[in-house]
Amino acid sequence: MSKRNSDMIRFVILFTCAILSFLQFTSCRHSTEPPIVLPDTTSHNFTWEVTALGDGYSNILHDVGIIHDRLAYLGGEIFLRDSTGQMDPILYNLAIWNGSNWTIRRVPYIYQGSPSYSEIRWIFAINEGDIWLGNSVHWDGQNFHNIDIGTFIFSGIGSNRMWGSATGKLYVVGNSGATGYSPDYGATWQKLESGTTVDLRDITGTTNGKSVWTCGYSIDLSKSVLLRSDGGAWSTVWNRQSTSTPPYGQLVLTVWAGTSNLFVGAADGVYRSPLDGSASPQRVLPLSSVPHRIRGTGENNIAVACDDGSMWHYNGATWKQLVPGEPFKPLYGIAVSANLIIAVGFDATTIDWKGWVVVGRRN
């Protein structure tokens, strides 16, 4: 064999051994490295159903609470025709969903022995036998009862939203900066000084109730605030000082707390920041329409209802528009469960305004 052929064979053998050694090394290294952890996501895939509620005009739905896959409550102002076909002047204020149909009801507040009917602006649904309604009524699983959520706090100004922890702490916020707190599941109430006269329109907190946030804006849109309480007095997180104040710009409309992050709906989109305030808020969803409500079951299942009728969903990794916007069909309230999203508002595309309900079932 010539020296040239011998050198060529030796080169091939050495090259082959080098390749085998490299493959063995990388195989061993990969087997000991931790696997890549992808975000825990949920599906964006929903089937949608739309329902219009009410006759005549002035029907509007404000809020909704999901109990389970076949039970939800929504509150608002609904007008129906009577048995003669004429508009009934006494409003209906509650609709109950059984998974397929809505039953419309009147829920009165009994004042001095006489029933009084008013729109229900908020619903705080804990379970099937524990539902709080914004017209000062509580459902105990059997009957509706009048409740006192701090009449001395909200008399003449109205309440806008309730939030509560698993430990029985309840908070209610309302107009003119009014806030009420119950440490004992609604048995007693006390007034909390918010330090603002801005109308407070949303509230959220951590599951243990140690930290609570509320936000709102004035009716002329000139003022807006985001407040926080860690068990004591409210402190100001953000206060609009000018036409546009970073990071939230002009308005803060809604807020929702996850396990690690706070999600804030501002005039130009949704912002996310750590609950402990260790980093500045970052805009994670730019929007061309203001978000009225953010709700979720976890940081991988969050839904946003917007003024233009659009709806967005965050699955832990990506945002997706689930429902396209439609002019004059604003969505004001939204509720989320593992398998459902229900949003409510009104349809003003015709002279006969209808209450607007959008139900999405995860496929």
The CATH number linked to 215 is 2.130.10.10
Looking at this protein, which amino acid is placed at residue 153? I
235-239 and 252-257 beta bridge pairing: unpaired
Do residues 151 and 14 share a domain? no
* Judgement on whether residues 241 and 273 belong to the same structural domain of the protein: yes
Note whether 118 and 143 are same-domain residues: yes
The number of domains in the chain is: 2
Residue 353 lies in a domain: yes
Q: Which domain holds residue 192?
A: 46-362
Distance CA 252, CA 264 (A): 7
Rounded Cα gap, residues 127 and 196, in angstroms: 33
DSSP code of residue 297? E
Same domain, 208 and 251: yes
Residue spans of alpha helices (H) in 108-154? 151-154
Phi, psi of 91 (to 5 degrees): -75, 155
In a domain, 41, yes or no: no
Rounded CA separation 344/59 (Å): 11
| This prediction's pTM | 0.88
> Which residues are CB-neighbours of 169 under 8 A, at least 6 positions away?
181, 182, 183, 209
Q: Note whether residue 97 is domain-resident.
A: yes
Both 31 and 129 in a single domain?
no
DSSP symbols for 185-252: TTSS-EEE--S--SPEEEEEE-TTSS-EEEEEE-TTSS-EEEEEESSSS-EEEEE--SSSBTTTBT-E
Residues 144 and 3 in one domain: no
* Residues 176 and 193: beta-carbon distance below 8 Å: no
- Which of 44, 45, 117 minimizes the C-alpha distance to 77? 117
350 located within any domain: yes
Q: Are residues 2 and 55 in the same domain?
A: no
Whose tokens are 């001095």? That residue is 112
Tens of pLDDT, residues 20-63: 444 443 444 444 555 655 678 999 999 999 999 999 878 999 99
Q: Are residues 52 and 84 in the same domain?
A: yes
In a domain, 40, yes or no: no
Q: Are residues 93 and 147 in the same domain?
A: yes
**190 is a domain residue:** yes
Please tell me the predicted confidence (pLDDT) of residue 119.
96
The C-alpha atoms of residue 108 and residue 118 are separated, in whole angstroms, by 8
User: What letters, b where the CB count within 10 A reaches 16 and e where it falls short, cover 221-243?
Assistant: eebbbbbbbeeeebeebbebeee
One digit per residue, the tens of pLDDT, for the chain of length 363 reads: 444 444 444 444 444 444 444 444 344 444 455 565 567 899 999 999 999 999 987 899 999 999 999 999 999 999 999 999 999 999 999 999 999 999 999 999 998 889 999 999 999 999 999 999 999 999 999 999 998 888 889 988 889 999 999 888 999 999 999 999 999 988 899 999 999 999 999 999 998 889 999 999 999 999 999 999 998 899 999 999 888 999 999 999 999 999 999 999 999 999 999 999 999 999 999 999 999 999 999 999 999 999 999 999 999 999 999 999 888 999 999 999 999 999 999 999 988 899 999 999 999
- Domain identity same for 1 and 93: no
User: Is 30 within a domain?
Assistant: yes
Domain co-membership, 181 together with 242: yes
Contact yes or no for 268/276 (Cβ under 8 A):
no
- Residues 238, 264: Cα–Cα separation, whole Å: 11
In a domain, 64, yes or no: yes
CA 260/CA 308 separation, integer angstroms: 29
Whole-angstrom distance, CA of residue 236 vs CA of residue 226? 6
Question: What contacts 296, CB < 8 A, 6 or more positions away?
Answer: 256, 258, 263, 302, 303, 314, 336
| Beta strands 235-239; 159-164: pairing state | unpaired
Instruction: Tell me the C-alpha distance between 237 and 234, whole Å.
Output: 9
Let me know whether 142 and 21 are in one domain: no
Select from 289, 307, 313, 311 the least CA-distant residue to 346: 307
